[in-house]
Amino acid sequence: MLRNCTFLYMLALFLFISTPVFSESSTDAVKAVADLRNWSFEQDGIVELNGEWEFYWERLLDPNSLSDSLPKDYIQVPSVWNEGFATYRLIIKFSEEDLTKPKSLYMPSIASAYRLWINGELYHSSGTVGSISGDMRPYNLPTMVPLDNGEEQVEVVLHVSNFAQRKGGIWKPILLGQTKDILKIRDRKLAAEIFLVGALFLMGLYHISLFFIRNSAKSALFFGLFCLSITIRILVSGESLWNQWFPDWPWEWAVKMEYLSLVWGVPLFVYYVFELFPETMANRFRLGTLIWGIGFGLFILMTPARIYTHWMLFIQFCIILNFLYIVYIFILSAIRRKPGSVINLLAITFFFVTVIHDTLYYNLIIGGDDWAPLGLFMFLFAQSLILLRSFSASFDKVESLSEELMILNQTLEAKVQARTKALEQSNAHLELANEELIRLHRSRQNLLSNISHDLRTPLSAIQGYAKAMMDGVIKSDDKQYSSMIYSKTLYMNRIFEDLLDLAKLESGSVKLEEEKVEIQEFIRDLYHKYEFDMVENELYPDFTITGTSFPAHVELDKTRMEQVFSNFIFNAIKYTPKGGSIKVSLDYSEAENNRIRVSVSDNGIGISSEALPYVFDRYYRDRRESMDSISGLGLGLAIAKEIVEYHHGEIGVWSSLHQGSIFYFVLPILDRKEDQHG
Residue ranges in contact with ligand ADP by CB under 6 A:
567, 571-572, 575, 602, 604-607, 615, 620-622, 631-637, 661
Give the span between the Cα atoms of 178 and 105, in whole angstroms.
9
Question: Which residue, 135 or 497, is less far from ligand ADP as judged by CB?
Answer: 497
Question: Which residue, 411 or 609, is less far from ligand ADP as judged by CB?
Answer: 609
**In the bound complex, what is the minimum distance in angstroms from residue 440's beta carbon to ligand ADP?**
23
Q: Please answer whether residues 168 and 162 qualify as being in contact, where contact means their C-beta atoms are separated by less than 8 angstroms.
A: yes
Give the span between the Cα atoms of 449 and 446, in whole angstroms.
5
3-class SS of residue 583? strand
Q: Give 229's strand partners.
A: none
**In the bound complex, what is the minimum distance in angstroms from residue 551's beta carbon to ligand ADP?**
30
Give the span between the Cα atoms of 331 and 624, in whole angstroms.
114
Question: Which residue, 352 or 568, is less far from ligand ADP as judged by CB?
Answer: 568
Question: Which residue, 555 or 622, is less far from ligand ADP as judged by CB?
Answer: 622
Report the candidate in 376, 373, 378, 363 with the shortest Cα–Cα distance to residue 317.
Answer: 363
**In the bound complex, what is the minimum distance in angstroms from residue 426's beta carbon to ligand ADP?**
39
Q: Please answer whether residues 170 and 77 qualify as being in contact, where contact means their C-beta atoms are separated by less than 8 angstroms.
A: yes
Q: Please answer whether residues 330 and 348 qualify as being in contact, where contact means their C-beta atoms are separated by less than 8 angstroms.
A: yes
Query: In three state form, how does the secondary structure of 384-424 look?
Result: HHHHHHHHHHHHHHHHHHHHHHHHHHHHHHHHHHHHHHHHH
Question: Which residue, 346 or 569, is less far from ligand ADP as judged by CB?
Answer: 569
**In the bound complex, what is the minimum distance in angstroms from residue 678's beta carbon to ligand ADP?**
40
Q: Please answer whether residues 614 and 601 qualify as being in contact, where contact means their C-beta atoms are separated by less than 8 angstroms.
A: no
DSSP letters for 412-423 = HHHHHHHHHHHH
Give yes or no for a cis peptide into 78 (omega within 30° of 0): yes
**In the bound complex, what is the minimum distance in angstroms from residue 632's beta carbon to ligand ADP?**
4
Question: Which residue, 265 or 606, is less far from ligand ADP as judged by CB?
Answer: 606
Q: Please answer whether residues 319 and 362 qualify as being in contact, where contact means their C-beta atoms are separated by less than 8 angstroms.
A: no
**In the bound complex, what is the minimum distance in angstroms from residue 638's beta carbon to ligand ADP?**
6
Give the span between the Cα atoms of 126 and 232, in whole angstroms.
22
**In the bound complex, what is the minimum distance in angstroms from residue 654's beta carbon to ligand ADP?**
11
Give yes or no for a cis peptide into 112 (omega within 30° of 0): yes
Question: Which residue, 29 or 607, is less far from ligand ADP as judged by CB?
Answer: 607
**In the bound complex, what is the minimum distance in angstroms from residue 417's beta carbon to ligand ADP?**
49
Question: Which residue, 552 or 637, is less far from ligand ADP as judged by CB?
Answer: 637
**In the bound complex, what is the minimum distance in angstroms from residue 508's beta carbon to ligand ADP?**
21
Q: Please answer whether residues 498 and 635 qualify as being in contact, where contact means their C-beta atoms are separated by less than 8 angstroms.
A: yes
**In the bound complex, what is the minimum distance in angstroms from residue 671's beta carbon to ligand ADP?**
32
Q: How many helices (H) and strands (E) does the chain have?
A: 16, 18
Q: Give 537's strand partners.
A: none
Give the span between the Cα atoms of 659 and 663, in whole angstroms.
13
**In the bound complex, what is the minimum distance in angstroms from residue 465's beta carbon to ligand ADP?**
24
Question: Which residue, 238 or 636, is less far from ligand ADP as judged by CB?
Answer: 636
Give the span between the Cα atoms of 247 and 244, in whole angstroms.
6
**In the bound complex, what is the minimum distance in angstroms from residue 667's beta carbon to ligand ADP?**
20
Question: Which residue, 176 or 573, is less far from ligand ADP as judged by CB?
Answer: 573
Q: Please answer whether residues 550 and 676 qualify as being in contact, where contact means their C-beta atoms are separated by less than 8 angstroms.
A: yes
**In the bound complex, what is the minimum distance in angstroms from residue 568's beta carbon to ligand ADP?**
7
Question: Which residue, 154 or 584, is less far from ligand ADP as judged by CB?
Answer: 584
Give the span between the Cα atoms of 348 and 382, in whole angstroms.
9
**In the bound complex, what is the minimum distance in angstroms from residue 645's beta carbon to ligand ADP?**
15
Q: Is 668 left (phi over 0), alpha (psi -120 to 50) or beta?
A: beta
**In the bound complex, what is the minimum distance in angstroms from residue 622's beta carbon to ligand ADP?**
3
Question: Which residue, 151 or 650, is less far from ligand ADP as judged by CB?
Answer: 650
Measured in degrees and rounded to the nearest 5, phi and psi for residue 624 equal -70, -35
Amino acid at residue number 368: G
Report the candidate in 55, 51, 49, 63 with the shortest Cα–Cα distance to residue 81.
Answer: 55
Q: What share of the chain is helix, strand, coil (3-state, %, to 5)?
A: 55, 15, 30
Strands of 175-178's sheet, edge to edge? 47-48, 175-178, 103-107, 143-146
Give the span between the Cα atoms of 455 and 492, in whole angstroms.
6
Question: Which residue, 74 or 570, is less far from ligand ADP as judged by CB?
Answer: 570
Cα–Cα distances (Å) from 660 to 36, 603, 609, 637, in that order, read 151, 4, 12, 17
Question: Which residue, 176 or 633, is less far from ligand ADP as judged by CB?
Answer: 633
**In the bound complex, what is the minimum distance in angstroms from residue 591's beta carbon to ligand ADP?**
26
Q: Please answer whether residues 93 and 49 qualify as being in contact, where contact means their C-beta atoms are separated by less than 8 angstroms.
A: no
Q: How far apart are the first and last CA of the chain?
A: 92
Taking CB atoms, the residue at the shortest distance from ligand ADP is 622
Angle between helix axes 558-574 and 636-646 (nearest 10 degrees) is 150
Question: Which residue, 53 or 664, is less far from ligand ADP as judged by CB?
Answer: 664
Q: Please answer whether residues 658 and 606 qualify as being in contact, where contact means their C-beta atoms are separated by less than 8 angstroms.
A: yes
Question: Which residue, 458 or 606, is less far from ligand ADP as judged by CB?
Answer: 606
